Amino acid sequence: MGEYKFSWRCRKLYVDILASFFFITFGTTLATTWYTYQSNSESLIRLSEDLLTHVSKFSVDKVISYLNQAQLITHLGADIAKDKSPVSNKNLPLIAFMEGILRSYPYLSSIYIGTEDGKFLQLKSLDSTSAYRTDPSRKLPGGSVSSIRYITREGGTATEIWQYQDAEGKILDHESVPKVMYNHLIRDWYVSVSQSRSSQWSDVYVFSSTKKPGITTGYPLIDDQGVFFGVIAVDIEMGSISEFLKESRVSKEYSAFILTEKEEVIASTDENQMVKVEGDKVRAANLNELSDKRVVLGYQKFRNEGKTNFTFQKDNIDYISSFSFFPKTFEKKWSIGIIVPLNTFIGSIKDTQRNILLITFLIFVISVALIGFIARRIARPIISLSEEATRIKNFELDNNQEVETDIYELQLLNNSISSMRMSMRAFSKFIPKVLVAKLLRTNQTVKIGGKLRRVTLLFSDVVNFTSVSETYPPEKLVVHLSEYFEEVTQIIMKANGTIDKYIGDAVMAFWGAPIVDKDQALNACRAALSLQHRLSHLNRRWAIEGKPVLETRIGIHTGNVIVGNMGSSDRMNYTALGDTVNLAARLEGANKMYHTHVIISEEVYLEIQEHCLVRPIDLVAVKGKTKAVRIYELVGLFHDDPSLLPTELQVNYCKLFTKAFQLYIERRWDVAINLLEDIKDRYGDDYMSSLYLERCNNFKENPPPEDWDGVIHLTEK
């Protein structure tokens, strides 16, 4: 079905309704609007100046409040630290206090204590980008929200430990820094407090750990005898102040910033301009280095003319601004500036002649609301139903949300679409979703026929299921088998496989159709190992619940098959036919003879040999075939899910067994016997080792004919 394009002959209903209303009301409102704009420009400018002044004062008060709170926290912390000494990462009450501070005051980036004897304890907030100190390329464990840093200098040796914890205070990991570079005793924040014995603020500087500007406040630690023994301090990243400036924005192009007396930018709505990188060094950016020249021009006008509110022009755009200094009672000589395009306020509707505009304005507003409501009431459900129909066309059937409408005709359409979605969802249970989606996407009809495709087939079967079904109640067996099939299905589909059919307790699946899969053999092997791994967990649970355990055997083979829709015109099945299918089924049955769980053919092995660990099993001709096939047991998968990785023991065993198998094929019976006996001594009694030991001993006594090729003919399916 083609897509409709907009034209004058094919317009949106919503557009038609609103356009009609617009042309009717436009003439009556145009003159009034123009007059209102002209008469109210001066009033709006004065109002905007008052607004910016209020925002500026409010921002300054909030910043000072933040900093005063931080200062009070150090005062409180001094009492807590004195009562909960000693300073150590083992002091849980002290750690709990510091954690509580960071949770209660998220704008604080860290809180820490340094003592005269060289101990340093810091609790620091982390973000998702935080990495290990000793290896910055490694990200911290997921869920890490804070770190505990502890430095001690006992016995003349400095040690530094970092502990990373989650929101519940659980330690997720830790590390030791091999060379301690940090010494708080020489840091400005510590020296200034230790010399003055009073609360002190640092200048704004760039934090070494985050490369962001911030400020530190410290307070002296004095014991009950009046002896100074350390400093407690908190860090505030100026980014938190910048976030507050962003929250106070009055328009999209609003720009606000805070400067020091050295004209350093320490907070800004554009945080990218706050720091300057010079080689390996990072510092706070200077005003003249900003790329936003509006800020530079506005601040220069403020310093030169001394005005707090004024307008100026840059690049033919008028701006209104408000500048002011922080109050003299504040310890720092900071200033704040706000710049907003003048058009932001002039374009707003703030008329000063309400009597003239009242009737026109009320009629216009009521009309817009009414027409807009009617237009949306009609158009929105239609758009939603169209989108739902498109999702159904794309075979996206998981959406159960109904389109709400009070219009009777649209309710009928909604009910029809819902019924169609449920029918398609039921249909997808019987035919592969990717196949149906392809048919819908390409507008193809379902018809009998198939194509020659190279696919990888997997057959699985439950061991001794007949015995299980005879000893377990049928109604419980159906539920139990359904749970098993659900796990098998999810694993195969997750590995991009297509479920062909369920045959009693057996499952047939394939890869490479209807969607081409260049990793089809590897995906099939991944599904087989994942199923065995998952089944081991389920069997443990089922055993505890008193349910039968299910052991599964799997056969995998890659080859050419006819794949397509098979059956009649009234009932068909998307499946695969051919010799490859039969061989895959025979390989599943061969597991019984060799006491294995997953057997793959040599065709599969050639595709996955670089990714999987296997051991050769035999050279066999399955029942009904004369051509021999080398088969392997699938043991593990490299570079994938950790649960599927082979153990070192398995790797070594497979290496030795492969060598023994080759010796067997080469008729070197004595060497093979010695190696097989060595394998049994190392790895215990193993059926395959015993089988080949028996064969070698037999052939040693009764040598095979000259044309012996090692092929074993299987007589059972």
Per-residue HEC secondary structure of 320-350 comes to EEEEEECCCCCCCCCEEEEEEECHHHHCCCC
- Could you give the 3-state DSSP secondary structure of residue 543? helix
Q: Find out whether 537 and 648 touch, Cβ atoms under 8 Å.
A: no
26: which residues sit within 8 A by CB, 6+ positions away?
Answer: none
Burial of 256 (0-12, 13-18, 19+ CB in 10 A): buried
**Looking up tokens 């008469």, which residue turns up?**
39
Give the per-residue pLDDT at 1: 41
**pLDDT band at 389, cuts 50/70/90?**
low
Average pLDDT of the chain, as a whole number: 80
Res 402: pLDDT: 64
- Beta pairing partners, 598: 554
- Indicate whether 121 pLDDT > 60: yes
Whole-angstrom distance, CA of residue 589 vs CA of residue 583: 10
What number of other Cβ atoms are within 10 A of residue 372's Cβ?
14
For residues 24-47, average pLDDT: 65
Pairwise CA distance, residues 656 & 676, whole Å: 8
- Comparing 505 with 193, the larger pLDDT belongs to 193
- Whether the pLDDT of residue 16 is over 80: the answer is no
Q: Output the 3-class SS for 495-533.
A: CCCEEEEEECCEEEEEECCCCCCCCHHHHHHHHHHHHHH
Which of 90-94, 425-429, 491-495, 667-671 comes out lowest in average pLDDT? 425-429
Structure tokens at 418: 């819902």
Provide the b/e sequence for 574-605 (b: ≥16 CB within 10 Å): bbbebebbbbbbbbbbbbebbebbbbbbbbbb
pLDDT over 80 at 85, yes or no: no
Per-residue model confidence as pLDDT tens digits over 594-606: 999 999 999 999 9
Q: How would DSSP label each residue in 614-630?
A: EEEEEEEE-TT--S-EE
Q: How far apart are CA 78 and CA 232, in angstroms?
A: 6
Give the pLDDT confidence score for residue 5 in this predicted structure. 47
Residue 197 has pLDDT above 50, yes or no: yes
Three-class secondary structure assignment of 351-393? CCCHHHHHHHHHHHHHHHHHHHHHHHHHHHHHHHHHHHHHHHH
pLDDT digits over 615-670, tens only?
999 888 866 566 788 999 999 998 767 888 888 898 999 999 999 899 888 889 89
Three-class secondary structure of residue 150 per DSSP: strand
Q: Indicate whether 346 pLDDT > 90.
A: no
| Cα 567 to Cα 450: distance, rounded to the nearest angstrom | 11
For residue 147, the 8-state DSSP code is E
Percent of the chain with pLDDT strictly greater than 90: 20
- pLDDT exceeds 50 at position 350: no
Backbone region of residue 395 per phi and psi (left: phi > 0; alpha: psi in -120 to 50; beta: other values)? left
User: Among residues 699, 700, 701, 702, which one has the least CA distance to residue 710?
Assistant: 699
At 368-385, the pLDDT tens digits run 677 767 766 666 666 666
Instruction: Please say if the pLDDT value at position 4 is more than 50.
Output: no
pLDDT for the residue numbered 633: 93
HSE toward the beta carbon, residue 424, CA cutoff 13 A: 24
% pLDDT > 70, the chain: 77
Q: What is the pLDDT of residue 61?
A: 85
pLDDT in the model for residue 407: 64
- Residues 429-470 have pLDDT tens digits of 545 555 555 555 544 445 566 788 899 999 999 888 877 877
Read off the pLDDT of each residue in 28-41 and give the average, rounded to a whole number.
Answer: 62
Nearest to 73 by CA among 116, 24, 106: 106
For residue 566, how far is the Cα from the chain centroid? Answer: 42
Q: Which two tokens stand for residue 449?
A: 């026929």
- Pick the range with the lowest mean pLDDT from 359-373, 387-401, 426-440, 589-603: 426-440
- Tell me the two tokens of residue 339: 């710049």
For 304-323, what is each residue's pLDDT tens digit? 888 888 888 888 888 888 88
Among 150-164, 296-310, 389-403, 429-443, which is the least confidently predicted range? 429-443
- 40 pLDDT band, cuts 50/70/90, is low
- What was the pLDDT predicted at 547? 87
Query: pTM, whole model, 2 decimals?
Result: 0.46
Spatial distance between the Cα atoms of 233 and 215, rounded to a whole number of angstroms = 10
Tokens of 428: 């997808």
Q: What is the mean pLDDT of residues 673-686?
A: 87
Token pair, residue 270, equals 């554009």
Q: Which ranges in 463-620 belong to alpha helices (H)?
A: 465-471, 474-494, 520-545, 579-594, 602-608
Tell me: pLDDT of 427 over 70: no
Which residue from 204, 244, 200 is spatially nearest to 107, judged by alpha carbons?
A: 244
Is 73 within 8 Å of 108 (Cβ atoms)?
yes
Residues 257-295 have pLDDT tens digits of 888 888 888 888 887 777 777 766 777 778 787 777 888
Contact 308, 288 (CB under 8 A): no
Q: Is the pLDDT of residue 103 over 70?
A: yes
**Whether 224 contacts 82, CB under 8 Å:** yes
Q: β-strand 213-222 against 205-206: which pairing, if any? A: antiparallel
